[in-house]
């Protein structure tokens, strides 16, 4: 189902909300962390499962198969801003956000 999100807007919303994500790589490795930043070639994830969770990993976008939020996330379309009417506390406002790259 296409919600009209671009790759940039999806990744930027994950950076802004600081929710933990699953990031699956092409070789089958699953990373769990918080998306810190992104650019045209890579994303930067603060690892939650690493022994030293203080560091940030750089992952090339061409190695990523999908990125999924661990908890339900609100998807804002067409640059709409969060308001009291469309926040996550409403039962119908919950949706799992996923990006297939």
Long-range contacts, 29-37 (Cβ 8 Å, 24+): 31/57, 31/59, 32/70, 33/57, 35/11, 35/67
pLDDT tens track for 68-80:
888 765 555 555 5
Q: Is residue 82 part of a domain?
A: yes
pLDDT tens track for 15-52:
988 888 999 999 999 988 999 999 999 999 988 776 66
Q: What is the CATH number of the domain that holds 46?
A: 2.30.30.100
Q: Is residue 1 part of a domain?
A: no
| pTM (predicted TM-score) | 0.64
Domain range for 44 is 7-100
């Amino acid at each position: 189902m296409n919600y009209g999100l671009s790759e940039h807007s999806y990744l930027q919303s994950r950076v802004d909300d600081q929710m933990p994500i699953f990031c699956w790589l092409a070789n089958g490795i699953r990373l769990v962390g918080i998306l810190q930043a992104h650019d045209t070639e890579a994303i930067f994830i603060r690892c939650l499962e690493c022994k030293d969770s203080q560091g940030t990993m750089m992952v090339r976008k061409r190695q990523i198969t999908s990125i999924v939020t661990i908890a339900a996330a609100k998807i804002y379309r067409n640059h709409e801003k969060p308001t009291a009417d469309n926040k996550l506390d409403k039962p119908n406002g919950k949706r799992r956000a996923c990006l297939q790259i």
